[in-house]
Amino acid sequence: MIEYEPVIGMEVHSELLTESKMFCGCKVAFGGEPNTRCCPVCLGLPGSLPVVNKRAVEFVVRTALALNCEISHHSIFHRKNYFYPDLPKGYQISQYGETPIGVRGYVEITVNGTTKRIGIRRVHLEEDTGKLLHVEGDRSLVDYNRSGVPLMEIVTEHDPAAGFDQINSADEAREYLVRLRSILLYLGVSDGKMEEGSLRCEPNISIRPKGSGEFGVRTEIKNLNSFRAVYNGVKYEIERQERVLREGGTVIHETRRWDEPRSVTASMRSKELEQEYRYFPEPDLVPMVFEPEWIEAQRHLLPELPQEKKARFMAEFGLTAYDAGVLTDSKALAEFFEKAVEGYHDPKIVANWTMGEFLRLVNAAGIEVDQVKITPGHLVDMLKLMDNGTISGKIAKTVFTEMFETGKRPEDIVKEKGLVQITDESAIESAIDQVLAENPNEVERYKAGKQELLGFFVGQVMRATKGKANPGVVNKLLREKLS
């Protein structure tokens, strides 16, 4: 049986976090009353002229640099012509051909222990379109608030040069997107919200007999609004194409829509004809020329990127690659950890709490790290309460959950809830006596040699003291009493 190899190209669009639109001064925002952020330029009214937003250009140059791209010395805009009601001018201003802002870069990904350098073909700047609100019947409503919002397009190389790799699985496609999004968030150029559509991903997929140098017919998938959808959609499409080929059919070049509830891709039957966009240089905008000194100045403005931060966390705090990777996945999480480490002597303990309880509660609450109430200082204070014996490790988890939910200081929580650890030996002793009296059978079995029962007694004592007894003291006293 022929073994097939998938080849996946990723086309990612990200709206840029500028204050104003790409070619006019209308505000950039999400949602709001339709058609309230529009002007003659972004409505394509006759006689209006576009002017390039400098910050949008800087954002794309910095992104391209962060993705290890070369910056074109000379870069121009083009018109992409097509008729569609979300595009009031009848064309989209984009960048076509050989001179996008960035070319020939890469993103490093690691999947199942294998590291790949995914080639980036191009990084370019364009404008977003308006939004069609589909209603019942044969009419659509159009909102042009999004029309003209700066949009960056990042395309991977499906046929990379030596030393670079292509994406060959759904796992790699997802990991590529995770890495790319993380870089965009570190750069502060995108909010990365896939569910709001400010970050959109359209993979194209083909399969070929393993080892073949040729490419199969590719399909493009739209409507992937989460990492999970990207993974599931790509996986489904690879399997679908394999099925088609194994049954002797042929894959058709088309765009397919991911149907999330049904977990399938379905043909959109809209791109059977290759569109002719009649690209030509945008006559209303003059060329951009990037001098080497200016490019270097932009490079200097790059923040510490995820991979650099990960390497530093390993070197500076002695963390494992895995821990450093988890902590630097999100900029906000890395910042939380780093602030807490400043106030505490043991980075490993801070890392464990940040990756364990903290991340677990963040995920359970379904919020972003930068939305939490708990501060790094709270974590530090709590760790110090553990160190000086005020609370036990078990109680600390209760305190941490409370801090996470309320944003209160750990000292206040301990005081309010009476969570101070019992270290007083006589108080613990009476709890032990009670437990031993209530469980005569276990006491007998323990004394007959069933040593594992010590854990049972410890548990019972902790329960009787509502978890407040100092576990070290409990252990010590239990051994004494049972010997």
Identity of the amino acid at 172: E
Between 59 and 176, whose beta carbon lies closer to other proteins? 59
| DSSP element (H, E) containing 13 | strand 4-15
Between 124 and 235, whose beta carbon lies closer to other proteins? 124
Neighbouring-strand partners of residue 123: 102, 154
Between 53 and 156, whose beta carbon lies closer to other proteins? 53
Between 255 and 475, whose beta carbon lies closer to other proteins? 255
The per-residue DSSP string of 64-125 comes to HHHTTPEEPSEE--EEEE---TT-TTSEEEE--TT--SEEEEEEEEEETTEEEEEEEEEEEE
- Is 79 within 8 Å of 93 (Cβ atoms)? yes
Q: Provide the CB-side half-sphere exposure for 215 (13 A, CA).
A: 16
Rounded to a whole number of angstroms, the minimum distance from the CB of residue 27 to other proteins is: 4
| Binding-site ranges for other proteins (CB under 8 A) | 18-20, 25-28, 33-40, 43, 51-57, 76, 83-85, 132-134, 137-144, 255, 257, 268-271, 281, 283, 285-289
Rounded to a whole number of angstroms, the minimum distance from the CB of residue 224 to other proteins is: 14
Q: Which residues contact 291 (CB under 8 A, 6 or more apart)?
A: 73
Quickly count: other Cβ atoms within 10 Å of residue 339's Cβ.
Answer: 15
Identity of the amino acid at 43: L
Between 88 and 105, whose beta carbon lies closer to other proteins? 88
Write out the two tokens for 216: 């199969």
- Is 455 within 8 Å of 474 (Cβ atoms)? no
Between 57 and 414, whose beta carbon lies closer to other proteins? 57
Between 43 and 349, whose beta carbon lies closer to other proteins? 43
Cα 289 to Cα 58, 72, 92, 294, distances in angstroms: 12, 8, 22, 10
